[in-house]
């Protein structure tokens, strides 16, 4: 079990022991930093829970384990947002460079992490947008048949073209989704699905970024958690545990995923994505590169932003303009998406800077806490309530300046 998870040894040991003795809870929370392996661990838990032989061994060849490895199991569903575009592109690049079964599985799973979000379990099948999505999913699945593990891959040139077609179709599919958060309608349909028995199989629902749900969806999830059906396991994932309301938190058993060490992150890049050791500083730098965001540029902008916050003069305009144009695009929809990616990445960089005393400088604890709280609220406005990223950033700047100037006045 969990041989595919690199690092997170303490959490993995706990999960392995609970699953082996049948004491894994029905409602759980996997929380920790981005790129920490939370979804991979949740999917592995789903595989073990539904294993037909009951052993959960990674080498198991039962029909359930095979379908779980390919993310096609009918009784495992996934909801919520994810960085599909960069993950699919990165896995496609790995497959092009390493034409072997592990890379085939990696790419196949990266695509189905997206396509499975459009299962009818979570959507109204009569809605026109969902019909269009299901047609797109069918086309993607037809292309994926040529890449199934166990069969010979197409010639390199044909493979490259096929991967480009899948990436393009996946981007179109992702654009058909409704926002970044899990909706109340999805939770209600999930609840109906959970209450229908699945014979002798367990059901597993994985909810990614539960901290981004709006109030109506949170209340619907709370009702489901209060009366969880038998043989159904709900696994919630989040990078921000503090943003989840206490009433939901109290009904989830938490499992913490730590920030991997640089050595472990390098191991992930080498073993999973087949990158050369030392080519990237870590997983965040790797995925930022696939987003076409320059980490050094982000660092420079975060320093200048903090200089503007701490300055007596108003000098933020240049920083905000540069950040808004960090990922320019000729197409309006792509530009808006890129602006959002840039601003969210910037806010993550700003949080990391403030949490690192060597980078953030000497700041009163009260001010630091106020700043980090303000950044979290800005992320929620952008990711949950779809506020304009630039507007949210301008509001954040004013709030952080106010907190800084207020502390100066008190001192």
What does the DSSP assignment read for 214-248?
Answer: -HHHHHHHHHHHHSPPTTEEEEEEES-GGGS-HHH
Percent of the chain topping pLDDT 90: 46
Spacing of C-alpha 398 from chain mean position: 29
Highest mean pLDDT among 1-10, 39-48, 119-128, 143-152: 39-48
**Is 337's pLDDT higher than 90?**
no
Q: How far is CA 193 from CA 67, 72, 123, 129, 187, in A?
A: 19, 17, 11, 21, 10
Work out the average pLDDT over 259-263: 92
Q: Which residue has the higher pLDDT, 129 or 211?
A: 211
With CA atoms as reference, report the closest residue to 58 among 105, 98, 22: 105
**Is 336's pLDDT higher than 60?**
no
58 in Cβ contact with 51 (< 8 Å): no
pLDDT at 289: 85
Structure tokens at 64: 């359930």
Instruction: Give tens-digit pLDDT for 276-327.
Output: 888 888 999 899 888 888 888 888 888 888 888 887 665 555 666 666 555 4
Helices (H) and strands (E) in the chain, counts: 18, 5
Integer Cα distance of 228 and 1 in angstroms: 26
Query: Which pairing describes strands 76-79 and 27-31: parallel, antiparallel, or unpaired?
Result: unpaired
Query: Which pairing describes strands 232-238 and 27-31: parallel, antiparallel, or unpaired?
Result: parallel
pLDDT at 207: 95
Integer Cα distance of 194 and 196 in angstroms: 6
Alpha helices in 227-364 (DSSP H): 246-249, 262-271, 283-290, 295-310, 317-324, 332-355, 357-360
What does the DSSP assignment read for 123-168?
Answer: S-TTSHHHHHHHHHHHHHHHHHGGG-TTSPPPPHHHHHHHHHHHHH
Instruction: Give tens-digit pLDDT for 53-73.
Output: 888 888 898 999 999 999 999
Instruction: Give tens-digit pLDDT for 187-245.
Output: 999 999 988 877 788 999 999 999 988 899 999 999 999 888 888 999 999 998 988 99
309 in Cβ contact with 400 (< 8 Å): yes
Q: Which residue has the higher pLDDT, 172 or 234?
A: 234
**Is 265's pLDDT higher than 90?**
yes
Instruction: Give tens-digit pLDDT for 357-385.
Output: 655 456 778 888 889 889 989 988 888 78
Residues 6+ apart with CB under 8 A from 200: none
Q: Which residue has the higher pLDDT, 310 or 20?
A: 20
3-state secondary structure of 83: coil
The pLDDT mean for the chain works out to 85
Work out the average pLDDT over 123-139: 77
Residues 6+ apart with CB under 8 A from 111: 88, 140, 144, 166, 170
pLDDT at 175: 81
CA angle 137, 141, 146 (to 5 degrees): 155
Confidence label for 36 from pLDDT (cuts 50, 70 and 90): very high
Integer Cα distance of 327 and 211 in angstroms: 26
Structure tokens at 29: 């929370």
Confidence label for 104 from pLDDT (cuts 50, 70 and 90): very high
Integer Cα distance of 48 and 368 in angstroms: 43
pLDDT at 409: 47
Residues 6+ apart with CB under 8 A from 374: 396, 399, 400, 403
Helix (H) or strand (E) holding 24: none
**Is 257's pLDDT higher than 60?**
yes
Confidence label for 330 from pLDDT (cuts 50, 70 and 90): very low
């Amino acid at each position: 079990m969990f041989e595919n998870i690199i690092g997170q040894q303490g959490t993995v040991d706990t999960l392995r022991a609970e699953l082996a003795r049948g004491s894994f809870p029905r409602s759980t929370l996997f929380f920790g930093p981005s790129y920490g392996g939370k979804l991979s661990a949740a999917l592995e838990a789903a595989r073990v829970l539904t294993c037909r032989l009951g052993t959960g061994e990674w080498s198991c060849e039962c029909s359930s384990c095979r379908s779980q490895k390919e993310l096609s199991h009918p009784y495992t569903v996934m909801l919520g947002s994810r960085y599909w575009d960069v993950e699919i592109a990165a896995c496609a690049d790995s497959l092009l460079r390493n034409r072997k079964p592990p890379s085939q599985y990696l790419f196949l799973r990266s695509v189905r992490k997206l396509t499975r979000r459009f299962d009818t379990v979570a959507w109204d099948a009569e809605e026109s947008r969902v019909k269009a999505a299901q047609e797109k999913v069918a086309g993607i699945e037809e292309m994926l048949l040529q890449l199934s593990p166990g069969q010979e891959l197409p010639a390199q040139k044909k493979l490259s073209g096929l991967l480009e077609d899948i990436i393009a179709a996946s981007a179109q599919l992702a654009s058909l989704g409704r926002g970044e958060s899990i909706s109340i309608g999805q939770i209600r349909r999930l609840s109906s699905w959970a209450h229908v028995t699945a014979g002798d199989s367990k059901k597993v629902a994985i909810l990614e970024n539960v901290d981004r749900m709006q109030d109506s969806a949170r209340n619907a999830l709370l009702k489901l958690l209060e009366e969880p059906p038998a043989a159904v396991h709900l696994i919630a994932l989040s990078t921000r545990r503090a943003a989840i309301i206490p009433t939901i938190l109290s009904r989830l058993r938490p499992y913490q995923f730590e920030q991997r060490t640089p050595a472990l992150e390098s191991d992930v890049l080498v073993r999973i994505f087949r990158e050369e050791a030392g080519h990237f500083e870590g997983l965040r730098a790797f995925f930022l590169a696939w987003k076409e965001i320059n980490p050094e540029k982000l660092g420079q902008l975060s320093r200048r932003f903090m200089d503007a916050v701490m300055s007596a003069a108003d000098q933020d305009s240049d920083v905000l303009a540069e950040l808004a144009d960090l990922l320019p695009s000729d197409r309006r929809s792509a530009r808006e998406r890129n602006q959002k990616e840039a601003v969210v990445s910037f806010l993550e960089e700003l949080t990391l800077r403030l949490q690192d005393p060597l980078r953030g400088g000497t700041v009163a604890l009260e001010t630091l806490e106020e700043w980090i709280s303000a950044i979290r609220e800005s992320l929620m406005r952008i990711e949950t309530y779809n506020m304009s990223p630039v507007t949210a950033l301008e509001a954040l700047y004013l709030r952080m300046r106010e907190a800084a100037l207020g502390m100066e006045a008190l001192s």
